[in-house]
């Protein structure tokens, strides 16, 4: 990324569209080369302009987390959407799903007999228009049914007249240093076990879907049919520190200004303070991370604390502190939550402000 | 708080207006009784409806964190605003400040000679219309000048024709268990030292401003003239666990639905999963907190993990797991970041949906 354009109010999110497009194309080619379908997770960006680029480069559809996100992308012409979340479908939610079913090919996650029965009850004769994807717990122990329990869920769906089209998992426990390889193997094993049980019982599995950004790279088509990475479009400090993206592939940063600086002494830390806090960076800070994000201009600086409107940055001892008013770019730890904090992003092409994009699905939590 | 109204899509934020109004009145009376002015921090709620209630109950004005927040409240008739943040005033920011100065009494934080000189340069002959508040570091070591450095900043302001009206501090290090008393003493000591030096040099200090929600309760008017608590309007899990708000005073929660449940075994934890994740709760999780928030219906439950759209809840072993589809209310750890994630909140009076309020200043980070 180039320098920060003059005259920007800070803090605000910058997207380098040259890097963004390179990331989208690289992963599209890589996934296609392995004979896998790419269904990127749009919760990361929530923007029509990025969805369009993903579909143009060959994505088969989008993954989303909520019905609200699905409606937003459906109204903008995305024809195939997968809500990778085990929804509990209430009456009011069912009405929104029926609306979606009129316009798009929709698939939905589920992980229990109870949720399947509720879905059938609420959707009535529309229920079989939906593609049901059974969520498998591959070791993350969040949602998802144990592989051995998948058959009960699939049979309940069949009995209720629903259409089971596949299985999926989210190997979220891959978000720790050195874990990607091991977790990719667990992911493969859990899906293989569930797929085996279901096929033996006569289920035809059109889609077997896996892959967080850390494990998608390691995926092959021996079992999986598609992957759903999200963060790869932007990269972030977390992926960089996990060794899953390069510094030069980071497409999103938060322009910020030095508002306070302190040379420090034996009692008080030497530091600068930036005007980017948790209300634009997000508050995510895994135990293994070096801090609350990274500074694009200085890989050796450490963000030791954030509050809502401040980031406290420990500057390398052998380097002079940046001046008051100097602008620096912060790489968020977790880009999905940073994007969800702003209504628009500023888009740079060749270092110049080219456009402003709306975060169209921002805040659509249901 | 009463039960959750029927037919709500989840997750969404609920505000119990009866509790909210009780909190606003209680703190207003408490602060007035001690002879202090109350200038609540509006970054917590960002809503006109709550600002109006605070002013009606005697607040002298509002505290905000950004010029964007100040503009929003100014356009809605708030006449006295304090930006409690050491802004670096760029040319484009100066234009917005000049606009504000036409309509409201505005005070602004600063913590360095450089920022004072920049302010004078950018605002020109309008600079003396502004009330300058010098930020003192009372031990939090974020922004703020050391008490002994305050005089240099004040003199630079005087030399540049600016109007120093007072000093302030944010004792953020009070956000740890058992620290409130000790930190309130540090706050008092730092402000007293700076006030002494400034008064000796001829500065008249009209405002000496302190008080986070944990320390505001302990404040008296022996030195301070005003306090700036924010969180007290809603309370949150963090304040509850710090012993600074009662369970029955918590006015805000996130309605959520059980989407996944697992009885567990020797390898897999017994848990429920709710559809409220870090995109509505925020990701704040101090090391001393019991988890990522609390469950209003069950004080013994523990939120062991959140991801963007999931909260994993460990339910007490001796109690049956809630059913699929059951609705529960999550108390966020840090309410300021939760409110900033939604465009509207649902307002309940006597347990019924009464109104929807806009989070008018949501996302206004600059």
Residues 6+ apart with CB under 8 A from A25: A57
3-class SS at A273? Answer: strand
CA B170, chain centre distance (Å): 11
**Nearest-neighbour CA in chain A from B337: distance (Å):** 7
Compare all CA atoms of chain B with the CA of A91 and give the residue at the minimum distance. Answer: B7
Domain count, chain A: 2
The Cα–Cα gap between B157 and B120 comes to 8
Size of interface A-B (CB pairs under 8 A): 178
Compare all CA atoms of chain B with the CA of A109 and give the residue at the minimum distance. Answer: B259
A184: CATH? 3.20.20.10
List the helix and strand counts (H, then E) for chain A. Answer: 11, 17
Please check whether residues B226 and B244 belong to one and the same domain: no
The pLDDT tens digits for A227-271 are 999 999 999 999 999 999 999 999 999 999 999 999 999 888 999
Check CB contact of B350 with chain A, cutoff 8 Å. Answer: no
Band (pLDDT 50/70/90 cuts) for residue B216 is: confident
Question: Which pLDDT score, from 0 to 100, does residue B43 have?
Answer: 98
Check CB contact of B7 with chain A, cutoff 8 Å. Answer: yes
B265: CATH? 2.40.37.20
Question: Which pLDDT score, from 0 to 100, does residue B1 have?
Answer: 47
Mutate to test the interface with A, among B117, B303, B307 (most CBs of A within 10 A): B307
The Cα–Cα gap between A228 and A209 comes to 7
Residues from chain B contacting residue A172 (CB–CB below 8 Å): 307
The Cα–Cα gap between B81 and A235 comes to 39
The pLDDT tens digits for B156-192 are 999 999 999 999 999 888 888 888 888 889 999 999 9
Nearest to A324 among B88, B276, B279 (CB): B88
CA dist list (Å): A143 to A109, A298, B228, B322: 10, 39, 41, 15
Check CB contact of A283 with chain B, cutoff 8 Å. Answer: yes
Is the Cβ pair A365, B305 closer than 8 Å?
A: no
pLDDT(B149) > 90: yes
Please check whether residues B174 and B302 belong to one and the same domain: no
DSSP annotation of A321: P
Is the Cβ pair A310, B273 closer than 8 Å?
A: no
The pLDDT tens digits for B291-320 are 999 999 999 999 999 999 999 999 999 999
Please check whether residues B200 and B71 belong to one and the same domain: yes
Is B323 within a domain?
yes
**Nearest-neighbour CA in chain B from A86: distance (Å):** 6
3-class SS at B259? Answer: strand
Regarding an ipTM greater than 0.90, the answer is: yes
Is A97 within a domain?
yes
Nearest to B143 among A11, A43, A310 (CB): A310
**To the nearest whole percent, how much of chain A has pLDDT over 70?**
99
Q: What global pTM score does this model have?
A: 0.97
Is the Cβ pair B363, A341 closer than 8 Å?
A: yes
**Nearest-neighbour CA in chain A from B268: distance (Å):** 7
Residues from chain B contacting residue A363 (CB–CB below 8 Å): 279, 341-343
Is A158 within a domain?
yes
Is the Cβ pair B337, A279 closer than 8 Å?
A: yes
Domain hosting A231: range is: 34-235
Question: Which pLDDT score, from 0 to 100, does residue A331 have?
Answer: 98
Please check whether residues B45 and B193 belong to one and the same domain: yes
3-class SS at B16? Answer: strand
pLDDT(A158) > 60: yes
Please check whether residues B214 and B137 belong to one and the same domain: yes
Pick from B184, B209, B233: which residue ends a domain? B233
More confident residue, A214 or B59: B59
The Cα angle at residue A321 between residues A318 and A322, in degrees rounded to 5 = 135
**To the nearest whole percent, how much of chain A has pLDDT over 90?**
89
Q: What is the mean predicted confidence (pLDDT) over B16-22?
A: 98
Q: What is the mean predicted confidence (pLDDT) over B32-60?
A: 97
Residues from chain B contacting residue A146 (CB–CB below 8 Å): 268
Is the Cβ pair A324, B115 closer than 8 Å?
A: yes
Is B15 within a domain?
no
Is A24 within a domain?
no
Residue with tokens 């005033």: B89
Mean residue pLDDT of chain A comes to 95
pLDDT(A1) > 80: no
Compare all CA atoms of chain A with the CA of B91 and give the residue at the minimum distance. Answer: A7
**Nearest-neighbour CA in chain A from B249: distance (Å):** 24
**To the nearest whole percent, how much of chain B has pLDDT over 90?**
89
Compare all CA atoms of chain B with the CA of A276 and give the residue at the minimum distance. Answer: B365
The Cα angle at residue B57 between residues B52 and B61, in degrees rounded to 5 = 60
Residues from chain A contacting residue B142 (CB–CB below 8 Å): 260, 273, 305, 307, 310, 312
Residues from chain A contacting residue B344 (CB–CB below 8 Å): none
The pLDDT tens digits for A306-348 are 999 999 999 999 999 999 999 999 999 999 999 999 999 999 9
Is B222 within a domain?
yes
Residues from chain B contacting residue A12 (CB–CB below 8 Å): 365-366
Please check whether residues B327 and B344 belong to one and the same domain: yes
- Chain B (155-184) residues lying within 8 Å, Cβ to Cβ, of chain A: 172
Check CB contact of A259 with chain B, cutoff 8 Å. Answer: yes
Please check whether residues B226 and B247 belong to one and the same domain: no
Mean residue pLDDT of chain B comes to 95
Question: Which pLDDT score, from 0 to 100, does residue B263 have?
Answer: 96
Rg of chain B in Å (alpha carbons):
22
Pick from B177, B201, B233: which residue ends a domain? B233
Asked if residue A23 lies in contact with residue A249, where contact means CB atoms within 8 angstroms, the answer is yes
Please check whether residues B209 and B261 belong to one and the same domain: no
Please check whether residues B170 and B268 belong to one and the same domain: no
pLDDT(B118) > 50: yes
Residues from chain B contacting residue A92 (CB–CB below 8 Å): 7-9
- Chain B (199-218) residues lying within 8 Å, Cβ to Cβ, of chain A: none
pLDDT(A3) > 70: yes
Pick from A165, A200, A235: which residue ends a domain? A235
Question: Which pLDDT score, from 0 to 100, does residue A93 have?
Answer: 96
Nearest to A260 among B90, B143, B280 (CB): B143
Mutate to test the interface with A, among B64, B120, B143 (most CBs of A within 10 A): B143
Check CB contact of A287 with chain B, cutoff 8 Å. Answer: no
Question: Which pLDDT score, from 0 to 100, does residue A2 have?
Answer: 53
Please check whether residues A350 and A276 belong to one and the same domain: yes
- Chain B (215-254) residues lying within 8 Å, Cβ to Cβ, of chain A: none
Please name the helix (run of DSSP H) or strand (run of DSSP E) that holds residue A205, with its range, or none: none
Question: Which pLDDT score, from 0 to 100, does residue B177 have?
Answer: 85
pLDDT(B130) > 60: yes
Is A365 within a domain?
no
**Nearest-neighbour CA in chain A from B304: distance (Å):** 10
The Cα–Cα gap between A238 and A292 comes to 9
pLDDT(B353) > 50: yes
Residues 6+ apart with CB under 8 A from A167: A133, A134, A135, A136, A150, A191, A194, A195, A198, A205, A207, A208, A209
Question: Which pLDDT score, from 0 to 100, does residue B171 have?
Answer: 86
Please check whether residues B324 and B229 belong to one and the same domain: no
The Cα–Cα gap between B5 and B87 comes to 43
Question: Which pLDDT score, from 0 to 100, does residue A181 have?
Answer: 86
Please check whether residues A62 and A94 belong to one and the same domain: yes
Question: Which pLDDT score, from 0 to 100, does residue B2 have?
Answer: 53
Residues from chain B contacting residue A269 (CB–CB below 8 Å): 141
Is A13 within a domain?
no
Question: Which pLDDT score, from 0 to 100, does residue B218 have?
Answer: 80
Structure token pair of residue A166: 């596949």
């Amino acid at each position: 990324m180039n320098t920060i354009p003059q005259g920007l109010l800070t803090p605000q999110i910058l997207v380098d569209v040259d890097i963004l497009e390179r990331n989208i194309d690289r992963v599209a080619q890589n996934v296609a080369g392995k004979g896998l379908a790419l269904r990127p997770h749009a919760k990361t960006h929530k923007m029509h302009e990025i969805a369009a680029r993903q579909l143009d480069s060959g994505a088969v559809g989008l993954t989303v987390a909520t019905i609200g996100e699905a409606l937003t992308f459906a109204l903008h012409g995305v024809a195939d959407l997968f809500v990778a979340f085990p929804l509990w479908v209430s009456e009011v939610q069912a009405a929104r799903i029926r609306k979606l079913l009129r316009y798009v090919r929709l698939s939905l996650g589920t992980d229990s007999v109870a949720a399947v029965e509720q879905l059938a009850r609420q959707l009535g004769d529309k229920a079989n228009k939906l593609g049901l994807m059974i969520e498998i717990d591959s070791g993350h122990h969040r949602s998802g049914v144990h592989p051995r329990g998948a058959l009960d869920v699939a049979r309940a769906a069949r009995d209720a007249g629903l259409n089971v089209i596949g299985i999926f998992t989210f190997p979220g426990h891959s978000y720790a240093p050195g874990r990607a390889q091991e977790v990719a193997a667990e992911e493969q094993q859990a899906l293989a076990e569930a797929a085996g049980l279901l096929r033996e019982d006569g289920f035809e599995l059109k889609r077997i879907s896996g892959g967080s950004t850390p494990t998608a790279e390691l995926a092959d088509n021996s079992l999986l049919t598609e992957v759903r990475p999200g963060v790869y479009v932007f990269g972030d400090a977390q992926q960089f520190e996990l060794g899953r993206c390069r510094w030069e592939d980071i497409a999103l940063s938060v322009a910020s200004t030095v508002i306070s600086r302190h040379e420090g002494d034996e009692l008080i830390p030497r530091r600068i303070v930036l005007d980017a806090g948790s209300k634009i960076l997000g508050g995510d800070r895994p135990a293994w991370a070096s801090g609350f994000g990274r500074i694009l201009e200085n890989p050796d600086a450490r963000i030791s604390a954030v509050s809502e409107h401040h980031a406290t940055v420990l500057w390398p001892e052998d380097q002079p502190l940046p001046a008051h008013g100097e602008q620096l770019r912060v790489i968020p730890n977790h880009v999905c939550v940073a994007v969800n904090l702003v209504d628009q992003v500023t888009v740079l092409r060749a270092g110049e402000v080219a456009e402003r994009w709306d975060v169209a699905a921002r805040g659509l939590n249901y």
